[in-house]
Amino acid sequence: MSSNLTVGPSGGSYTLPRFQPLTWSPQYAAAAFTLVVSLVWFSWKKWTGSRPGLLPGIHVVGGSSRHEMVKNRGRFMHHSKDMLLEGYRHSSGQDFYYVPSLEGERLVIPTRFMEELKSAPMHKVDFVGVVRELMEGRYTLVGDRSRLHPDTLKSHLTPRLALVVPAVQDEIRQAVSDVFPPCDDWTEVAIVPAMTELVTRATSRMLGGLSLSRNKEWIDAAVEFAHHAFYGAQKIKAIPWPVRPLLAPLIPEIRTHIPNCVRATRRAAIPILEQRERDGEKTNDFLSFLKEAAKGKQRDNKYIAKSMLLTAFASVHTSSAAPCQLIYDLCNNPQYFDLLRAEYAGLIDHDGQIPKGAFGRMTKMDSCMKESQRLWPATLLTFERIIHEDRTLSNGLTVPAGTHIGVSNYAVGRDPNIFPKPDEFDGLRFEKMRNADPSMEGKAQFVSCNQTSLTFGYGRHACPGRFFLADEFKAIMVRLLETFDMKFAEGQTRPEPAQFESQWIIDPSTKILFKRRKPVIAQ
Ligand code: HEM
């Protein structure tokens, strides 16, 4: 008797193996045992949570009975915004609260405690551990413990921005003309993919110069890597922990897509590095800075390539969402268009480039960027850390080892005691603060990190790319405002990002109407 079934429209096009009845064997017994154990483990974890016991007397958003917490762990996935606000408002931001999540209960701390935690060493108060946990770093590469790229951003890129940014502005000009349609009349543009390509090219020019920013395979890998890591991590989270090492390598993102991105990165970066080694060439881009800063095994070109991919992961999608959010705010408040154009008109050169020194004088643009990020940050929690040793805070509270902490930058940004009319976009809010009080000069800038400015986190892990971002963001806005008028379609309202746990994800299908302000001049 045939062991296969043949099926198909005419009875013969494809073949399925015939179902074989299970026969008892030691292998089946072992597999069944593993399955039962992992299912029991998984249900138990879901029920009890994966964190240490909760501290008594601390408010738990949604209720502290086991039944309520289990229910609310799932709720955090798409209602994190409301849950974080509820916890914050319970004590006007002055006290601790827990938010249940599928990763267990997270302890949200009042911002005044950041000061005593901000400089703690990583083995005690761990930033990378959070990323590893949320992004399943063991399998997705994200959450690598290398310090080369964050340190090099701080030590080499930020001090040399004036040398790097002119080329980035060239790239932005070219990318705007490549990515956007002619827009001779009002034309719908899917702004998120357009901005992602524009930002990825601009950022790649900073990372590795012209040959990287025009390398299509790299640009695709830089954009796709974050998607694959994100979806790969979500699929892994659905697998019970005990069998993850067995099953994770079978997930397409882990087996194929992420390794493909790594290979594409090596193919893009290594020839550039080798060429420079042969020519003894030093260039002002991040690949050269990484090579200069690297020590020991970090000097291997594969290591440098990995550091470049991880930097792209940290920067590309966050930096693309920010100008989209600002464009939505400006379309919603069109009175700012002329104000911003008037500000940069006196600063840009005849090519539309912002000269060195002029970035700092664009205080209205800086204020609008910061206001937009206050309202629409990329993440609703920042300063997320895992506490590895019991830690007693200055108020006497001992936070147990294993606790996942964070501050709700979103709730702080919407606090009416800090920001009057907090739900309104007041583009000049931060410029007014700077003008009214000289001591706010350093605190109300786009790049400032303090207890009321938390978009970029705080302390030793505060975003090291934000100084580059500030210049890139301004250059993109100037180029777009100079080239196009923009507006919402009739009846369109300001799009809200989607919530996914503590992240705010911008809708890639949103369209904005663009119209060219001046005819295209043949180059
Ligand atoms: C709108 C854009 C961006 C936002 C909202 C953002 C936000 C953040 C936040 C919240 C953190 C964690 C800080 C903390 O918990 O204290 C962070 C870390 C980081 N960011 Fe950004 N970032 C942005 C753009 C960039 C860019 C353009 C780069 C690189 C050029 C970059 C590179 C990094 C790196 C490498 C880290 C890890 C720092 C460490 O390990 O110490 N980011 N960012």
pLDDT, tens digit, for every residue of 81-135? 999 999 999 999 999 999 999 889 999 999 999 999 999 999 999 999 999 999 9
Binding residue ranges: 463
**Cβ atoms < 10 Å from Cβ of 428:** 16
Task: Find the 515 Cα to ligand 1 centroid distance in Å.
Answer: 33
Half-sphere exposure of 327 (CA within 13 A, CB side): 29
Q: What is the residue type of 111? A: T
Pocket of ligand 1 (CB under 6 A): 127, 149-150, 153, 311, 314-315, 318-319, 322, 378-379, 382-384, 455-459, 461-465, 468-469
Closest residue CA from atom 41 of ligand 1: 461
pLDDT at 249: 96
Q: Any alpha helices (H) in 238-359, and if so which ranges?
A: 244-247, 252, 258-279, 286-293, 301-332, 335-345
Best of 456, 472, 473 to mutate for ligand 1, by most ligand atoms within 8 A of CB? 456
Q: Is the model more confident about 291 or about 24?
A: 291
What percent of the chain clears pLDDT 70, i.e. is strictly above it? 89
* DSSP letter string, 201-238: HHHHHHHH-HHHHT-HHHHHHHHHHHHHHHHHHHHHHT
Between the CA of 158 and the centroid of ligand 1 the distance, in Å, is: 13
**499 φ/ψ angles, rounded to the nearest 5 degrees:** -95, 135
**Residue 521 predicted with pLDDT over 60:** no
The candidate with the shortest Cα–Cα distance to 478, out of 326, 318, 285, is 326
Quickly state the pLDDT bin for 519 (edges 50, 70, 90). Answer: low
Report pLDDT for 241. Answer: 85
Cα 44 to ligand 1 centre (Å): 35
Task: Give the pLDDT mean for 288-305.
Answer: 98
Considering the chain, what is the average pLDDT of its residues?
A: 91
Give the span between the Cα atoms of 84 and 269, in whole angstroms: 41
Residue tagged 């997270």 (tokens): 106
The ipTM (two decimal places) reads 0.99
What does each C-alpha distance from 34 to 21, 28, 45 come to in angstroms?
20, 10, 16
Q: Kindly report the number of other CB atoms within 10 A of residue 322's CB atom.
A: 26
In this prediction, residue 32 carries a pLDDT of 54
Mean pLDDT, residues 51-67: 90
Would you say residue 273 has pLDDT above 50? yes
Question: What torsion do the CA atoms of 250, 252, 255, 258 make, to the nearest 10 degrees?
Answer: -150
> Facing residues of 14 across strands?
7
**Can you give the pLDDT at residue 43?**
55
Confidence of residue 246 (pLDDT cuts 50, 70, 90): very high
d(CA 478, CA 364): 12
Q: With contact defined as beta carbons under 8 Å apart, do 475 and 165 qualify?
A: yes
Average pLDDT over residues 45-71: 82
Start-to-end CA distance of the chain, whole Å, equals 74
Residue 33 has pLDDT above 60, yes or no: no
pLDDT number for residue 128 = 97
How far is the C-alpha of 106 from the C-alpha of 379, rounded, in Å?
A: 15
pLDDT tens digit string along 471-486? 999 999 999 999 999 9
44-53, 118-127, 357-366, 399-408: which range is least confident on average?
44-53
User: What pLDDT is attached to residue 210?
Assistant: 98
Alpha carbon separation from 384 to 111, 134, 230, 451, 459 (Å, rounded): 12, 11, 18, 14, 11
pLDDT bucket at 2, cuts 50 / 70 / 90? very low
Q: Which helix (H) or strand (E) holds 188?
A: strand 187-190
pLDDT at 453: 98
Query: CB-based contacts of 377: which residues, under 8 Å, 6+ apart?
Result: 409, 410, 413, 455, 504
- 138 touches 415 (CB < 8 A): no
Q: Is the confidence at residue 15, as pLDDT, over 70?
A: no
Q: What is the pLDDT of residue 280?
A: 92
Contacts of 458 (CB under 8 A, 6+ apart): 114, 118, 382, 383, 407, 449, 450, 451
Question: What's the mean pLDDT in 46-60?
Answer: 76
What's the average model confidence in pLDDT over 371-385? 98
| Confidence band of 281 (pLDDT split at 50, 70, 90) | confident
Find all residues with CB under 8 Å of 299, minimum gap 6, and list them.
291
If you average pLDDT over residues 187-206, what whole number do you get? 98
Residue 14: pLDDT band by 50, 70, 90 thresholds?
A: very low
Position 413 pLDDT exceeds 60: yes
Ligand 1 center to 239 CA (angstroms): 29
Query: Quick one: pLDDT at residue 39?
Result: 58
Is a pLDDT exceeding 60 seen at residue 218?
Answer: yes
Q: Is the C-alpha dihedral spanning 77, 80, 86, 89 positive or negative?
A: positive
Q: How many CA atoms lie within 13 A of 302 on its CB side?
A: 4
Amino acid sitting at position 12 = G
Minimal-distance CA residue to ligand 1 atom 28: 465
Above 60 in pLDDT, residue 265? Answer: yes
Task: Report pLDDT for 35.
Answer: 57
Q: What is the model's pLDDT at position 45?
A: 52
Mean pLDDT of 135-156: 96
- Of 163, 182, 176, 49, residue with least CA distance to 106: 49
Residue 321 Cα: closest atom of ligand 1: 1
- Checking if the pLDDT of 79 tops 70, the result is yes
Locate the ligand 1 atom nearest the alpha carbon of residue 469 and give its number.
27
Task: Name the token pair of 352.
Answer: 């539309």
**Among candidate residues 442, 417, 412, the one with its CA nearest the CA of residue 430:** 442
CA distance 64 to 44: 18
Closest CA to 96 of 54, 59, 52: 59
Atom 18 of ligand 1: nearest residue by CA position: 463
Question: Residue 259 — pLDDT band, cuts 50, 70, 90?
Answer: very high
Question: Any bridge partners for residue 484, and if so which?
Answer: 516
Tell the residue nearest (CA) to atom 32 of ligand 1.
Answer: 465
Q: Which parts are annotated binding residues for heme?
A: 463
Instruction: Round to whole Å and give the CA distance between 247 and 252.
Output: 11
Could you give the CA distance from residue 405 to residue 385 in angstroms, rounded to a whole number?
5
Rounded Cα–Cα distance for residues 313 and 294 (Å):
20
| Whether the Cβ atoms of residue 142 and residue 131 lie closer than 8 Å to each other | yes
